Amino acid sequence: MKTTPHCWCAFALTLLLASSLAPHLARARQSTAPTPDEAKRFIEHAEQELFDLGLKAERAAWVQLNFITFDTEIIAADAQEAANTAATNYAKLAHRYDKAPLSPELARKLLLLEHATEFPAPDDPKAQKELATILTSLGSDYGKGKWCPDGAAKPCLDITKIERLLATSRDPEELKRAWIGWHAIGAPMRDRYARMVELGNAGSRELGYSDVGALWRSKYDMPPDDFARELDRVWEQLRPLYLSLHAYVRGQLAKKYGKDVVPPNSPIPAHLLGNPWAQEWNNVYELMDSPKPAQSYDLSKILVERKTDARGMVKYGENFFSSIGFAPLPDTFWQRSLFTKPQDRDVVCHASAWDVDDQDDLRIKMCIQITEEDFRVIHHELGHNYYQRAYNQQPPLFRGSANDGFHEAVGDTIALSVTPEYLKTIGLIDAVPPASGDTDYLLRQALEKVAFLPFGLVIDKWRWEVFSGKIKPAEYNKSWWELRQKYQGIAPPIARTEADFDPGAKYHVPANVPYMRYFLARIYQFQFQRALCKTAGYQGPLNRCSIYGNKGAGEKLNTMLSLGASKPWPEALESITGQHELDASALADYFAPLKTWLDTQNEKNNYPVGW
């Protein structure tokens, strides 16, 4: 096979990018107002080039995350640099056409083009190369991260095995060691992360934004400060529910580990919540004293006993979507996805869904474990894939979700339908627990859905303050734990210093993925679910509704999915819910019976609320 030297490819790509932008750069320097035809040509050209570069970057990223080597890091960094630089340049040039008379469709494309970059590079080519290298290296550091207990005496553990240990061990000292071991991967990232912030802010200022955080917040069809206030409004609505759950869980953990380990009136030690990041608490469910119905079940045990393998887990998810009217996944999905962790190499195991060619090359990348948690995660990830396919007939700039929270919410909505009723219908359990078991079911859901809410806020609140300069590099870790205590009421198991960089132990920070989408998704999913259950004709407690098998609900869902990013998110929201704004009432109503029960338990057991 004839091979082409890598340096020639990079040089050729640079020449191609420079030559393709040259006419637009020349026009940008003109003083005359642009014509509508000129604006149309510019947008169409940008749309096609960003699609082509994005496809190359997507393929390079897939290889790099699944085969982490020195060479794949360079290849992915080169592709990311080309795509990111082009997106940044087009975003800058797009402002020339802000006042041009455009059709609604072209005006929407122009707006999306101005927001086409997540992390803009500065104009300087050396800075562009440096930023791409940093971004790729941080992601690789995370993927290669391991904890080696007792030096070389025991095998090193990757994040998949650490997650399993933290989910199942009830030895507080072992949990502490694992927590400390995993969080050590962040420290080497610290200086590069600070430099990345400098470069991204420089690029953002060239686009007219004060910093990267302002750019990220501008992508929600409202002014950035209005968006931040909207999030605070919704959080205050839900905070009382979280406080009740926090008080109950702390009391139950103190009952298990003792008040010397879990003091009342104090934040909960992060290593005791069943998850490396204390973001969801469903793995400590078995320690809770909620009333267990006679027909309770252990889905993880059932799946293992049935010898369900990774592909079988994914098949359950595909069958759900087929039941509501969606076409089966393409054969290439099964050929190209990663379902289990390879034994011979490092990969990034964080679950993700991919649409490599923006057409039908759908994939998931996930180190599947045969557990109830991963059963639900699979339904969630496939939600991304079906959303990607639903909008693939849209023009390239509209091939995305109404906002990033929608993409996350679709999969979460489907996961809400993984009810006992659904599990009985597909033959995984023999009987549905009676209504007397709803409190227990809602508690299990709350340990995942409600416990996550403040964590979903903290990741980006910390980054927004880092980007704005309010949090200085010398206080990265201190501020991280101050925010986590303020919002989550948790604390590290041992004192942390600025020699640590604990944010780096969470995938989305080194991978530079905006996180507010997950908080939004926790709200949207209940709005979506309430509307789809109404369409399905369901009457009864929302927690018992599954849209499995209902093609009417599937059709309504697909109507919204097929819009992609062609409409502002309030219009997309209205198409499925009839509402124009973020509404926490559906989530609050879903958990209202649990809130009453939690308040009663906290009072009866003298569990203090707050910290």
Q: Exactly one of 183, 271, 407, 508 is catalytic; which is it?
A: 508
Give the active site residue among 380, 390, 448, 572.
380
Return the amino acid letter for 499: A
Contacts of 156 (CB under 8 A, 6+ apart): 146, 147, 148, 149
Euclidean distance between CA atoms 54 and 82, whole angstroms: 9
- Residue 342 CB contacts under 8 Å (≥ 6 apart), including other chains: none
Q: Cα–Cα distance between 520 and 372 in angstroms, integer?
A: 24
Query: Which of the residues 24, 183, 246, 350 is marked catalytic?
Result: 350
Query: Which residue in 49, 58, 408, 448 is the catalytic one?
Result: 408
For tokens 């994040």, the residue is: 159
Give, as one character, the DSSP assignment of residue 472.
-
**Catalytic residue check, 351:** yes
Q: Does the active-site annotation cover 518?
A: yes
**In angstroms, rounded to a whole number, what is the distance separating the alpha carbons of residues 607 and 253?**
11
CA distance 338 to 224: 37
Burial label for 29, CB within 10 Å (0-12, 13-18, 19+), is exposed
What's the DSSP call for residue 264? Answer: T
In contact, 384 and 353? CB cutoff 8 Å: yes
Write out the two tokens for 580. Answer: 């124009």
Record the tokens describing residue 61, joined without a space: 């990223």
Q: Is 73 a catalytic residue?
A: no
Q: Of 10, 187, 351, 592, which is the active-site residue?
A: 351
Whether 460 contacts 516, CB under 8 Å: yes
Query: What are residue 192's phi and psi, to 5 degrees?
Result: -65, -40
**Known active-site residue 508:** yes
Active-site annotation holder among 518, 524, 538, 590:
518
Residues 6+ apart with CB under 8 A from 71: none
User: For residues 178 and 168, is the Cβ–Cβ distance under 8 A?
Assistant: no
Q: Has 408 been annotated as catalytic?
A: yes
Q: What is the DSSP letter of 118?
A: S
CA-only gyration radius of the chain, Å: 24
User: Would residue 58 show up in a list of annotated catalytic residues for this protein?
Assistant: no
Q: Catalytic one among 183, 246, 379, 384?
A: 384
**DSSP summary character for residue 147:** B
The closest alpha carbon to 113, from 565, 521, 515, 516, belongs to: 565
| C-alpha atoms less than 13 angstroms from C-alpha of 452 in its C-beta half-sphere | 22
Active site residues: 350-351, 380-381, 384, 408, 508, 518
